């Protein structure tokens, strides 16, 4: 029996030393010390021993049990340390590895220009309005004093929805003037950006869809001086305080008088270069004093009130500002291009 106990001690301690996982250790505990374990089985035979042998074997059995328990405990804490070590190793963060560069989106150049313009006008007390792109011809043309038969109303220039030419995709943001005058209390001071549509030939500077910003002020005593001051404020804020603004006579049915507005070339300062085609000036927008007929069409007393209006092409300004020579580059949204013209 003594030999049996020694054999168990040897085998068990070896097995414990070899245990690689906590589960293996638990299996060994059951195998040797459990109720049906090997050591217990030997102890059950103690009854067969003589009175002299019993205490000797009993003591040895206790020693073996204690040795196994101690061995298991020691191994258990060793395994726990090891698993903690592994876990720490697995979860270790190498702070010296270079981080992954996340790609951050950029604001589209046209929206950079639009936001800049909005800020300038909000600073002058304008309210921003946005509205429908499908319009009645009455608002896009008639009430703006563009009469039946005017070339701008041609099917070849305008996207119509109905055979009677009454519903269309707006060709300009100017119908916003009519909506504002019909629905708002006077005085009015609004800025209305949005998409407009024309059957233009597609080339480097034209697209069938583009963006405009309409501006409208209606109040008592508005004159050409207000128009010039307002647009000068815009242009100096955008192109620098040294910029010079020039009004050239023009014609729009809804303004009288009408002007085209030029800014001294911001690339060459007015000496003449490729951007300004040698003229020293760059055309940036159309504007004028609201035609009395338009005020009357909206039920506004043209003796008491007068107004100024202007329309800005956003693509044109963005192209000029960022030196983009093809309008397609603005619509393709190729990040390689947009990244290069990001101001932020
Ligand atoms: N609607 C005109 C255009 O599309 C621009 C404009 C707006 C001119 C307001 C004068 C006043 O060309």
Each residue's pLDDT tens digit, 236-253: 999 889 999 999 999 999
pLDDT at 341 over 80: no
pLDDT at 344 over 60: no
Which residue's structure tokens are 């003594």?
2
Looking at residues 270-288, what average pLDDT do you find? 91
Query: Buried b vs exposed e over 248-263: b needs ≥16 C-beta within 10 Å?
Result: eeeebbbbeebbbbbb
Highest mean pLDDT among 5-14, 48-57, 127-136: 127-136
> In angstroms, rounded to a whole number, what is the distance separating the alpha carbons of residues 252 and 150?
12
Residue nearest to atom 4 of ligand 1 (CA): 172
pLDDT, averaged across the chain:
91
Q: pLDDT tier at 17 (50, 70, 90 boundaries)?
A: confident
Looking at residues 132-147, what average pLDDT do you find? 96
Looking at residues 190-210, what average pLDDT do you find? 91
Q: Which one-letter DSSP state was computed for residue 160? A: B
> Is the Cβ atom of 71 under 6 angstroms away from ligand 1?
no
pLDDT at 48 over 70: yes
Looking at residues 41-51, what average pLDDT do you find? 82
pLDDT at 146 over 60: yes
pLDDT of the residue at 36: 87
> Is the Cβ atom of 313 under 6 angstroms away from ligand 1?
no
Cβ–Cβ under 8 Å, residues 13 and 32:
no
pLDDT of the residue at 342: 61
Sort 170 into a burial class: Cβ within 10 Å, 0-12 / 13-18 / 19+.
buried
Q: For residue 285, which atom of ligand 1 is closest to its CA?
A: 5
Rounded to 5°, angle at Cα 301 from 299 and 302 = 115
Looking at residues 156-174, what average pLDDT do you find? 94
341 Cα to the center of ligand 1, angstroms: 28
Q: pLDDT tens for residues 282-310?
A: 899 999 999 999 999 999 999 999 999 99
> In angstroms, rounded to a whole number, what is the distance separating the alpha carbons of residues 215 and 191?
5
> Is the Cβ atom of 177 under 6 angstroms away from ligand 1?
no
Query: Buried b vs exposed e over 98-137: b needs ≥16 C-beta within 10 Å?
Result: eeeeeeeebebbbebbbeebbebbeeeebeebeeeeebbb
> In angstroms, rounded to a whole number, what is the distance separating the alpha carbons of residues 170 and 165?
12
> Is the Cβ atom of 141 under 6 angstroms away from ligand 1?
no
Cβ–Cβ under 8 Å, residues 253 and 292:
no
Q: Between residues 246 and 64, which one has the greater pLDDT?
A: 246
Residues 6+ apart with CB under 8 A from 213: 114, 117, 173, 191, 192, 193, 311, 312, 314
Strand, coil or helix: 249: strand
Looking at residues 114-122, what average pLDDT do you find? 96
Q: Between residues 3 and 127, which one has the greater pLDDT?
A: 127
314 Cα to the center of ligand 1, angstroms: 13
Give the whole-number percent of the chain exceeding pLDDT 90. Answer: 49
pLDDT at 112 over 80: yes
Q: pLDDT tens for residues 317-338?
A: 888 888 888 888 888 888 888 8
pLDDT of the residue at 117: 96
């Amino acid at each position: 029996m003594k030999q049996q106990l020694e054999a168990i001690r040897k085998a068990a301690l070896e097995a414990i030393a070899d245990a690689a996982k906590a589960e293996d250790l638990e299996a060994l505990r059951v195998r040797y010390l459990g109720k049906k374990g090997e050591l217990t089985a030997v102890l059950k035979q103690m009854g067969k021993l003589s009175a002299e042998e019993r205490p000797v074997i009993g003591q040895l059995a206790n020693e073996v049990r204690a040795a196994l328990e101690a061995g298991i405990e020691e191994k258990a804490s060793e395994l726990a340390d090891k698993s903690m070590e592994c876990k720490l190793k697995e979860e270790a963060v190498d702070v010296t590895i270079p981080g992954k560069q996340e790609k951050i989106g950029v604001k589209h150049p046209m929206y950079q220009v639009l936001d800049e313009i909005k800020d300038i006008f909000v600073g002058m007390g304008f309210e921003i309005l946005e509205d429908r792109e499908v319009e009645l011809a009455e608002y896009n043309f008639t009430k703006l004093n563009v009469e039946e038969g005017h070339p701008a109303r041609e099917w070849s220039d305008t996207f119509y929805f109905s055979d009677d030419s009454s519903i269309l995709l707006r060709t300009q943001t100017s119908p916003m003037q009519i909506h504002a005058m019909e629905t708002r209390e006077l005085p009015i001071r609004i800025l209305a950006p949005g998409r407009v549509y024309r059957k233009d030939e597609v080339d480097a500077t034209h697209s069938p869809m583009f963006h405009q910003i309409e501006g409208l002020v209606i109040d008592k005593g508005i004159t050409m001086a207000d128009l010039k001051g307002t647009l000068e404020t815009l242009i100096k804020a955008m192109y620098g305080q040294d910029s010079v603004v020039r009004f050239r006579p023009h014609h729009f049915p809804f303004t009288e008088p009408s002007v085209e507005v030029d800014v001294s070339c911001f690339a060459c300062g007015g000496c003449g270069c490729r951007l300004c085609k040698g003229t020293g000036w760059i055309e940036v927008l159309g504007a004028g004093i609201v035609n009395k007929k338009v005020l009357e069409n909206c039920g506004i007393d043209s003796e008491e009130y007068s107004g100024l209006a202007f329309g800005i092409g956003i693509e044109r300004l963005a192209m000029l500002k960022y030196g983009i020579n093809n309008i397609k580059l603005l619509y393709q949204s190729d990040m390689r291009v947009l990244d290069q013209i990001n101001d932020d």
